[in-house]
Amino acid sequence: MLAATVRLTRNLDLAEEAVQDAYERALSDWPRAGIPRNPAAWLTTVAHRRALDLMRRESALQRRLPLLVADDPPGLLDPTAEGALGSLDSLDGIPDDRLRLVCTCCHPSLGVDTQVALTLRLVCGVTTAEVARAFLVSEPTMAARITRAKKKIAVARIPYRVPALRELPDRLDAICTVIHLLFTTGHTAPIGETLLRNDLVERSLQLARMMHVLVPGDRAVTGLLALILLTDARRDARVGADGRLLVLADQDRTKWDRTAIAEGTALARAALPSTDRYTLQAAIAAVHAEAESWAGTDWRVITVLYERLLREWPSPVVRLNHAIAVGFAAGPQRGLDLLDALGGEPALAGYGYFEASRAAFLAALDRTDEAKLAYEAALLLTENAVERRFLLDKIAALAD
Secondary structure of 87-139 as H, E, C letters: HHCCCCCHHHHHHHHHHHHCCCCCCHHHHHHHHHHHCCCCCHHHHHHHHCCCH
Q: Which residues pair with 384 in a beta bridge?
A: 192
Listed in sequence order, the residues at least 6 apart from 382 whose beta carbon sits closer than 8 Å to its beta carbon are 352, 356, 388, 391
Same domain, 11 and 35: yes
State yes or no: pLDDT of 375 exceeds 90.
yes
Which of 196, 214, 232 marks a domain boundary? 214
Q: Tell me the C-alpha distance between 134 and 122, whole Å.
A: 15
For residues 122 and 105, is the Cβ–Cβ distance under 8 A?
A: yes
Same domain, 139 and 169: yes
Choose the weakest-confidence range: 49-53, 90-94, 376-380: 90-94
In the chain, what percentage of residues exceed pLDDT 90? 47
Cα→Cα distances 348→130, 380, 382, Å: 16, 14, 13
Maximum distance among all alpha carbons in the chain?
74
Same domain, 21 and 102: no
298 vs 142, more confident: 298
Same domain, 364 and 400: yes
For residues 196 and 188, is the Cβ–Cβ distance under 8 A?
A: yes
Q: Where does residue 240 fall: left (phi above 0), alpha (psi -120 to 50 degrees), or beta otherwise?
A: beta
Same domain, 388 and 314: yes
Averaged pLDDT for residues 304-332:
95
Averaged pLDDT for residues 138-142:
85
State yes or no: pLDDT of 184 exceeds 70.
yes
Same domain, 227 and 339: no
For residues 280 and 308, is the Cβ–Cβ distance under 8 A?
A: yes
State yes or no: pLDDT of 186 exceeds 80.
yes
Domain that holds residue 46: 2-87
Neighbouring C-beta atoms of residue 367, cutoff 10 Å:
16
Nearest-5° Cα angle at 377, 239 to 383: 45
287 vs 114, more confident: 287
Averaged pLDDT for residues 287-312:
95
Same domain, 347 and 280: no
State yes or no: pLDDT of 67 exceeds 80.
no
Long-range contact set of residues 208-215: C-beta below 8 Å, sequence gap at least 24: 208/179, 208/183, 210/95, 210/99, 211/172, 211/175, 211/176, 211/179, 214/162, 214/165, 214/168, 215/165, 215/168, 215/172
State yes or no: pLDDT of 133 exceeds 80.
no
Which of 87, 115, 132 marks a domain boundary? 87
Query: Domain holding 343: CATH number?
Result: 1.25.40.10
273: preceding bond cis by omega (within 30 degrees): yes
Q: Tell me the C-alpha distance between 366 and 361, whole Å.
A: 9
Assign 121 a pLDDT band (cuts: 50, 70, 90).
confident
pLDDT in tens, 352-362: 999 999 999 99
Same domain, 136 and 65: no
Neighbouring C-beta atoms of residue 77, cutoff 10 Å:
11
What is the structure's pLDDT at 57? Answer: 65
Q: Which of 309, 313, 366, 374 is nearest to 340 (CA)?
A: 374
Q: Tell me the C-alpha distance between 353 and 383, whole Å.
A: 12
Assign 80 a pLDDT band (cuts: 50, 70, 90).
very low
Same domain, 249 and 166: no
Q: What are phi and psi of 111, to 5 degrees?
A: -65, 150
Assign 58 a pLDDT band (cuts: 50, 70, 90).
low
Same domain, 108 and 150: yes
Same domain, 322 and 249: no
Which of 87, 119, 140 marks a domain boundary? 87
Chain centre to alpha carbon of residue 17? 24
What is the structure's pLDDT at 321? Answer: 97
Helix runs in the chain, H state only:
2-9, 12-33, 39-57, 65-68, 94-105, 112-122, 128-135, 139-156, 169-187, 198-214, 219-232, 258-271, 277-290, 299-312, 316-330, 332-341, 352-364, 368-380, 385-399
Choose the weakest-confidence range: 50-54, 157-161, 250-254, 328-332: 157-161
Q: Where does residue 10 fall: left (phi above 0), alpha (psi -120 to 50 degrees), or beta otherwise?
A: left
State yes or no: pLDDT of 170 exceeds 90.
no
Q: Which of 236, 119, 107 is nearest to 172 (CA)?
A: 107
Neighbouring C-beta atoms of residue 356, cutoff 10 Å:
20
Q: Tell me the C-alpha distance between 284 and 301, whole Å.
A: 8
What is the structure's pLDDT at 181? Answer: 86
In the chain, what percentage of residues exceed pLDDT 70? 87
Please state at what angle helix 316-330 crosses helix 299-312, rounded to 10 degrees: 160
Q: How many domains are there within the chain? A: 4
What is the structure's pLDDT at 261? Answer: 97
State yes or no: pLDDT of 207 exceeds 90.
no
Same domain, 167 and 230: no
61 vs 202, more confident: 202
